[in-house]
A = this chain, B = another copy of it.
Amino acid sequence: MNQLPQDFAELEARITAEYGALSRRLQQTARFLLDNPQEVAFATVAKLADRAGVTPSTLIRFANSFGFKGFSEMQQLFRTRLVDELPNYAERIRAVRTATGETPDSTQLLWEFAEANRDVLEALPSRIDPHDLERALDLLEQAEIVHVLGARRSFVVASYFAYALHHIDKRAFLIDGLGGMHGEQMKAVGPRDAMLVVSFSPYAQETQDAAAEAKERGIPMVVITDSSLSPLARLADVSLVVHEAEVKSFRGLTASLCLAQTLAIALGVRQDKASEPAHDEAKAKG
């Protein structure tokens, strides 16, 4: 039996170090414990076991395998951690907010970014017209294939959206311009498809060209952009305008990604409903 850890940090280090040597269930337990330390501090063995997807026995075994006499003994570390660390949490916020004296600039920056992005997310939902959101979903739902386009900074959002569509089993292609083949990739867009275009100032020329072509061919198009005056907005069937945070003249992508995430999952929900109409009717009646 090993020497037992004296505080949470020590325990965390031990768990991390020996993680590979643990059995499947104990690994599962380890992940849960380190991911949800707050919950562990309060809840009972039975509840935690349930949440972690293991049996109570496993939790006990886990504690034993790290030298504790029982689960309760290990739980103590989770509790004292909460008590020890909380008091200086509030202080840390205050310290960072007020003076940069002690904290490194980088941490100060992190707080600023987090705050700026939070503010943006706060404003986002009320800035998006529910009606536009529904129309965008209509277009995407009816499309056989969704082609996603975004260059430079917008490429991040575009690639995420394409990724997310794959995960809800919606056919999607990312127009990435690989090999300078923007034009060629646009030719692969069929008449029953739709496009989702992401573009922010200063609106990449290749994106504008592609969007113009799509408009001409009558391809349904949803645009995520940063202003209703954007050249992309006038080409779109539905345009969703997001305002991103700016710190040190660097723009974020938080709001756009949140919106992309929402579009993808809302689309997934719709598809589920469409493929299981019986379930929905039953609910409506009941």
Contact = CB atoms under 8 A, between A and B. Distances in A.
A57 interface: no
A262 interface: yes
A247 B269 CA distance: 12
B93 A126 contact: yes
Contacts of A243: 35
B106 A130 contact: yes
A93 B122 CA distance: 11
Interface string A223-255: 000011100011000000001000110101110
Tier of interface size on chain A: 35 or more
A51 interface: no
A42 B43 CA distance: 11
Copies in the complex: 2
Nearest to A76: B42
Given A114-B125, A126-B93, A234-B16, A257 B257 contact: yes
Which secondary structure characterizes the binding site on chain A?
helix
A12 B121 CA distance: 23
B133 A122 contact: no
A262 B106 contact: yes
Contacts of A259: 110
A125 B110 CA distance: 6
A117 B85 CA distance: 19
Contact of A16 (B35, B178, B229): B229
Contacts of A106: 130, 133-134, 137, 262-263, 266
